[in-house]
A and B are shown apart, each in its own frame.
Chain A
C-alpha cells in the first residue's frame, strides 16, 4: 500500500494504526492527526491503550497495522532514536548515576548527525535547565531532588533535543495534588515557549480539560471521541465520554419513548431537536449533566425532587436529588445552601444539561425540559 503523505503542517499522523498481541487486539484501527504546535491529550482509564499509542509513535512498540508519520516521514521502520521524538515517562526514567547536567546533556552527547561540540552541548543544556528552572540543581544527582524537580529534569532532557514531537506518558501522575497543579502550569508555559506538537497521556480529566487543544478519549482500545475540551463536555459522542468527562459523574437513566413519541423523565417531558424523531417504544438513555443543573428556590423549576445527600466542595455543593420514577440527578447548589436530606429541592436545567443517547449509547441530541405535568 503506498504511503499517504499527510499535510506538511501535520506533526504526527496515524493512519489506520492498530496494535495486537497475538489474538488480543489492544488497539483497534484508528486515525489521528496532530498539527504542528498542537497539544493533544490522550485520555482514558488505565489499560485502555493510550500509552501504547505513545510507545508506537516513539518506536518502543511496533504497530501491528497502519502507518505512523512523524514530521511528514513514514517512521514505521525507523529506529526510535531516528524518529525525532522525545518522551517523558511517568516514572521519570532518570539516569541515577548521572548529575542533572549529565542527564540533560545525555541526548546531545548521543547525537551523531551532526556530532555536537562541547560548547554547544553546555549551552543547550543550560538553556533547557533554565526553561524548567533547574539551573541551581545542575550539579545534583536525581536522588537529591524532589519529585517535581525530577520530573522537570525529565522534561528538560526531552526539551534539549529540540524534537519534532513531545510524547508525555502521564508525567504528573506521581506528584501530589498541589505540585501537580504547579507543574501543569509550568508544562503549559514550556509548551507556549517551544510550540511543538505534544501528545500527552493521562487518565485525569482535569489535566485533559485544562491543558489540551484537543482531547482524544479512548476506552478499551477504541477511540470514543476526538474534540476540543468544550466539545467533549457539551456534546459527548457517547455515554462513555459523557460519564468520563465532568465531575461529579453524569448519572444515566434508561427511558422508553412513549406512544406519542414523547420522552418523559420523572414528571417532565423533554423537548428534543425538532429534526429528531424517536420511535415510540424505543429505549433511549438520558444523561443529566450535574454542573448544568442548579438547585433553585423559584417555582418555575424544571424538576422537583427530594434531597438524599449533600457533598460539600467548598466553592459549592452537590445534592443528590431523587426525581421520582427511579430517576435521580446530581444538582449544583450554593455552598452555604441549607438543604438537609428529605428536603424538597427545585431543580433548574441550563442549556446543555440533558443529553439523549440511543440504545447503543451513541448521542442522538441534546434536550431541554419542554413541559412539566402538574
Chain B
C-alpha cells in the first residue's frame, strides 16, 4: 500500500518519543549517582549556609566555639544597618541598571557586528575580525589608566555613562555572536532575501530567533560579568550613591573593622537579584533548534 502523507507525519511524531526512551539504569548505579550528586551539593551549599547563618548573628557571637550553625536568637540588625546606614538600595539599583543596560546594548551591538562578520561580504572583513580578536588579548589592567583619562576628558566620571560605555567595547561577545550566526545555513538567508526581506529584517526575523539560546548564554554571561564588575567601577565612580554593589560591599570593611555579619547580610542580599534573573531565563537554555529548516 502506498504511503500517505499522514503516515509520514505519524512516523515523524513517533520517532521523537522513541528516541527519548533510553535503557533503564540499574538501582545501584542510580544510588551511586545520587550519593555523588549529594556530595557535590553539600560542597557547594555549606559555605552559602554559613553566610546565611552569619548574616543572622551579632558580630560578638560569631566567634563562639563550637560555632553555632543555627543563630539563636535570630538577629536582624545586620540587614537593618545595611538599609539605614548605607545606600544599599541605590547600590542594588545602580548595579541592576548598569548591568541590564550593558547587557541589552551589548546583545544588540554584538549580534549586529557578529552578523556582519559571519554573513556579509565586505572588503577588510578578515582584517576587522583579526583586529577584534587581538583586542580580546589585551588585559583590562593595561587599559584602565588610559580609559580613566578618556572618561575624565569626556567629563563622564561619576556618571552611569562611565560604567556603561567602556564594557560595550569588549569584542568577546562579537566573537560569540559570530560563532552562533555562522552556523545558520546561507540558504535560509537567501530564501528570506528572495522573499523580500531586507538585510535588517533577515537579522531581526530570521537570525535572532534562531540564535536565541546562544543569546541567552551571552546575555547571562554579560550580565554576570557586569554584576560582579569591581575594578573599573571602583575607579570611575567615587560618589557613594552611584556605586555598584561590588564596590559598595567592599567598602563595608575597613582596615580596622571587619563586620562579618554586615558583610554576610550584604552578600546574601546581593545574590538574590542575580539568582532570580538566572531562574527567569533558565528555560531558554535549550539546544539551538534548526530542525526542520533543512534536509538533515
Contacts and interface: CB of A to CB of B under 8 A. Distances in A.
B196 interface: yes
B195 A107 contact: yes
28 contacts: A58-B194, A81-B197, A86-B194, A87-B191, A89-B187, A90-B295, A91-B185, A92-B293, A92-B294, A93-B185, A94-B293, A94-B294, A95-B192, A95-B293, A96-B291, A96-B292, A96-B293, A97-B209, A106-B197, A110-B192, A110-B196, A133-B5, A143-B291, A144-B9, A146-B8, A149-B9, A150-B292, A178-B2
Interface of A: 58-60, 80-81, 85-87, 89-97, 106-107, 110-112, 133, 137, 141-150, 157, 161, 174, 178-179, 182
Given A87-B191, A107-B196, A110-B201, A142 B9 contact: no
Nearest to B11: A146
B12 A144 contact: yes
Nearest to A96: B293
Given A58-B194, A91-B294, A178 B188 contact: no
A294 B191 CA distance: 49
Interface of B: 2-3, 5, 8-9, 11-13, 185, 187-188, 190-198, 201, 206, 209-210, 289-295
A280 B290 CA distance: 65
A96 B290 contact: yes
Given A90-B295, A110-B201, A174-B295, A146 B194 contact: no
A146 B192 CA distance: 22
Given A81-B195, A81-B196, A96-B291, A60 B190 contact: yes
A104 to B, nearest CB: 10
Q: Would you call the interface of chain B mostly helix, strand, loop, or mixed? A: helix
B185 A87 contact: no
Contact of B193 (A81, A90, A145, A149): A81
A92 B187 CA distance: 9
A80 to B, nearest CB: 5
Nearest to B288: A96
Contacts of B9: 137, 144-146, 149
A142 B293 contact: yes
Contacts of B185: 91, 93
Which 9 pairs across A and B sit closest by C-beta, in order of nearness?
Answer: A142-B292, A146-B8, A143-B292, A110-B196, A107-B195, A96-B293, A93-B191, A91-B294, A93-B187
Given A89-B190, A91-B185, A148-B5, A143 B289 contact: yes
B196 A97 contact: no
A116 B197 CA distance: 15
A146 B201 CA distance: 28
Contacts of B190: 58, 60, 80, 87, 89, 93
Contacts of B295: 90-92, 147, 150, 174
Contact of B194 (A81, A90, A95, A96): A81
A89 B8 CA distance: 21
A79 to B, nearest CB: 8
Nearest to B206: A95
Nearest to B196: A110
Given A143-B291, A144-B12, A60 B3 contact: no
Contacts of A89: 187, 190-191
